[in-house]
Chain A
Amino acid sequence: MLSHRDINVRVDGIEPSVAVENPSNALELSTILEEASAEGHAVIPIGGGTRLEVGGAPTKYDVALKLGKLNSIVSHNPADLTCTVESGITLENLRSVLSEHGQFLAIDSPFPEQATIGGVIASNAPGFLKWQLGHPRDSVIGMEVALPNGTLIKSGGQVVKNVSGYDMARLHIGAFGNLGVITKVSFKLTPKPVRESTISIEFDDLSLAYGFAQEVYKSYVMPLSLICSHDFDKSSSSCKSLVRIGGRERALKRQKDLITEIGIRNHSRSIEIIDQPESDQLWIDVLNESVKGVDSEGYIKINTRSSCAPSEVEHAVRLIGTSLKDTGCLLSINSEPGFGAIFCNIHLPEKKSRDESIGLIQKIRESLHEIESWLIVEDVPTEWKSVLDVWDGGQISSIKLMDSLKATYDPDSVLNPGRFVTFQS
């Protein structure tokens, strides 16, 4: 069964003790899982490997289950605005096929050329397309999943309106392959806007940028994306807002005019309009950067994500900034004020002890808990994970029920033991 060992399947420094499997289809995958569970092996499903460091460290890891060969488009009928794909297809490959038909999937992720659909869905990857088009979960209309014992089950369908049995796909979105391995996903698609532009607006400080964002939120404009980006390490307090808009000619012009007006009214320092194709690449770069951050020698880099009410985003950003003030940390934040999401890239000085650094993270968390927000640490040195709950699980209501789901669907802890929030120590 042992085929080969591969650095790409290393999770938190641990390699699979038994095998690396690379099935070519769902049936093969099902057999592998069936055997692994019978043997009592622990399995970690792996898509593009862009988010393997996210989550708790595995408590057991025997088989790496690569999904990369399950990469076909099962069906795409453009006139139905739906598609079904195998979970190992990369976001970029799916995008390029859909784009030929003037369509797109309202889900984005860093590193789209590597990240797979299954991985993006299972790990709730960060993305900036949520303002108008909603949470990635809203695009999923059906799913095929291999249960830990290998049984392939399906739910939902290829239609956008469906109340036929339980909406089982919900169990697996953002669930880190904790209850099953996603093998196929059906999506509802969105027509690509006829034209798109991005407006980049700089402000002298945070309040102006968030004031601008609030005013856009209240206007009739429905941007595809709107983010505010702010670096706390720089001497200047400037903040940049990027607004992505789309539509037919007159609608796009009206939106540009409205956003420019709102920008000027909020004392923008500069306004730049970027059209396609530059604007397309710009969003890929921004998303990649938001995760990668800048390389800084002498620092440990971590990524975090939080969510809160849209009106609290500025407050939350300030709380995070204040918690790290004068600590020698570098902090850059991208937020989605219309959706209520905050992504931080934090550089902690290496000279700080682990406990000191974790203390800072807990300090941020405590301030966020006050405003009903939370902080997941997505990218953190493995050795911290034994003392840091990366999920901020204390903030999750109904965690007992999540444990019960795990105990029911994966009683032998075959899948991803220790990595998801429901892990019972």
Chain B
Amino acid sequence: MNRWRLRHLSTRGLLYVGAILLALQAAFPFFWMVSTSFKPPTEVFAQPPSFIPNDPTWDNFHRLFTATGFLTYFRNSLIVSGLAVLLTMVVSAAGAYSLTRYQYLGREKIAGLILCTYMFAPIMVVIPFFILVKKMGIENTHFALVLAFTSFCLPFTLWLMRAFFKTIPLQLEEAALVDGAGRVRAVIHVILPLALPGIIATSIFTFILAWNDYIFTRILITSDELKTLPVGVQDLFHSALIDWGLIMAAGMMITIPALLFFVAVQRYLIRGWGAGAVKG
């Protein structure tokens, strides 16, 4: 075996080790969560702790769906996060495009200002935000939540998208424009494919940020029917007749759909989506 092959194999080996470690560190707590959600109460604290439940039960899930408002919360979370992602991505994609492709007075200053507004700790912004929302008369509505999520997602999505857009060479659009395509077509056929991984990544982050928000939902929403998952889970946790199995079941039901979605979507984070365009 020559040196090159040995090197290649050992690199490959290291790669697999790295991948396995990566998967393990994320999966281990996840599987622990899954395992506990199937355990009956008496087994939860059993020593030695068992990875695979000795006496698995669906009871926790049954109670989660029937005795709590979980399904309502799930639906609400989906609606609000989905709308927030839509609004944020459209606005920030346009904004990022503007910040990287157009020239106008104060462009960089605007970017800087947006960044500045971001440096105020969200926890302190909540109360005046609530007052603002109250003045607008939209407290306790999903609309207010979507606005709240947008307000704390937009600055970062703008900056992230701006960074991704900057990596796309300007020559590409120029070439398209020279060929006679309108700017819109240039964007759709040239920029979008190259920006897709960036757009997907940013959408995922926006979704997660909105999906996991706690404090804004807690303060802005009062009605049980409008609550989202994090608030619902937190209440379950504090209900003091706490049910570890129930909480873990809730955790599982929150993450599995999202995980499945990501398995589907991560396909688009592949090389080659935009690489071809550079040659052309």
Q: Do A and B come from one complex?
A: no
